[in-house]
Structure 1
Amino acid sequence: MTAAIFGHGGPWTEEEYLALGETPERVELFDGSLYVTPAPTPWHQRISRRLGNALEPAAESVGLQLLEAVNIRLKHGRLAIPDLVITTDIDLRELVIDAAAVQLVCEIISPSNASTDRVLKMHYYAAAGIPWYLLVEQDTGTLHLHRRSGPHYVAHSVTKPGTVLRLTEPVTVDLDPERLLPGR
């Protein structure tokens, strides 16, 4: 399928991946294979924007940056595009951000890629050393916060609608699932 879309049979190198430039699909590179997903739904993007709006002032207040849908190099040949990240101060003109600069990665789970976010990306983000991983379930409004412990993530908290997630690292902010997903 990717050969038909991009005119290349694979495996893909990081250099070939980066040469694709911007595409209408979300294209990630995992160990020589492209992972292509269609553009997110408006509902997904609304959640992402609300989450970003909540996180950005908290990040800026401690000298960190909130970025949306950027290339993160987890290791050479492994580039992901998370929904949101909080990073240290980086050069915003660079095409790729090194995982070492990422303090928190956020994924909004879509029904079509739930296992990728819960298993594959969770493993890759932990292996890259990203300290915090926040998963947002679109269907239930539940927030799953994971903290890196050794080479893996461990569950730190599960926050359902009607309760509030109080983040204290890498930023301090209260996240209310009902405000992120109103009218579910």
Structure 2
Amino acid sequence: MTTAVFGHDGPWTEEEYLALGETQERVELFDWSLCVTPGPTPRHQNISGELRAALRTPVRQAGLRVLEAVNVRLRPGRIPIPDLAIVEDVDLRIPVIEANSVRLVCEIISPSNAATDKVLKMHYYAAAGIEWYLLVDQESLTMHLYQRRGAHYVERSVTKAGETLELTDPVRVTIRPEDLLD
């Protein structure tokens, strides 16, 4: 399918991938192959925007940045686009953020590609050394916070609607899942 969409045959280099520029679809590079998914739904984007707004002030106070949908190089040939990333103060002109600058990644589960967020990306982010992974289920408004232990993540908390997530690292903030749909 990617050949028909992008007129390309065979493995993709990072240069070819980055030359695609911005697209309507979410296009990620996984081990020299493209993964193309439809753009996020309005509900997904609302949750993402509200979560970024909740993180903005504490992140700035910690000398970090919170970014939406940016290229993160986990290793050569592997560039996912997490829904949100808390990163060190990086050069915003460079199109790719290196994994060692990422303190937390967040994925908002889309029903059409839940396995990618729950299994594939979780494995890739942990293997790249990203300390924290926040997984938000947009249907149930449940937030799962994971911390890296070795090459894997261990679940640290599960926060459901009506409860409060107490994040202490990489920033201090409390988030109520139901506030993500305001």
Unaligned runs of 5+ in 1: none
2:167 paired residue number? 167
Counterpart residue identity of residue 103, structure 2: Q
1:43 paired residue number? 43
Paired with 1:181 and 1:23, the residues of 2 have a C-alpha distance of 26
Across the aligned residues of Structure 1 and Structure 2, the Cα RMSD in angstroms comes to 0.7
TM-score (norm 2): 0.98
Secondary structure of the structure 2 residue equivalent to 1:67: strand
Unaligned runs of 5+ in 2: none
Paired with 1:14 and 1:127, the residues of 2 have a C-alpha distance of 19
Paired with 2:178 and 2:19, the residues of 1 have a C-alpha distance of 40
The answer on 1:31 being equivalent to 2:51 is no
Counterpart residue identity of residue 161, structure 1: A
Contact 1:29 1:77 survives alignment (8 Å):
yes
Paired with 1:24 and 1:141, the residues of 2 have a C-alpha distance of 26
Secondary structure of the structure 1 residue equivalent to 2:74: strand
The alpha-carbon deviation at position 3 of structure 1 amounts to 0.2
Paired with 1:8 and 1:92, the residues of 2 have a C-alpha distance of 29
Counterpart residue identity of residue 25, structure 2: E
Counterpart residue identity of residue 39, structure 1: G
1:73 paired residue number? 73
1:124 paired residue number? 124
1:62 paired residue number? 62
The alignment-based identity, stated in percent, is: 66
Query: What is the aligned length?
Result: 182
Alignment of 1:127-166 (within 5 A): 127-166=127-166
Alignment of 1:1-40 (within 5 A): 1-40=1-40
TM-score (norm 1): 0.97
The alpha-carbon deviation at position 18 of structure 1 amounts to 1.1
Secondary structure of the structure 2 residue equivalent to 1:75: coil
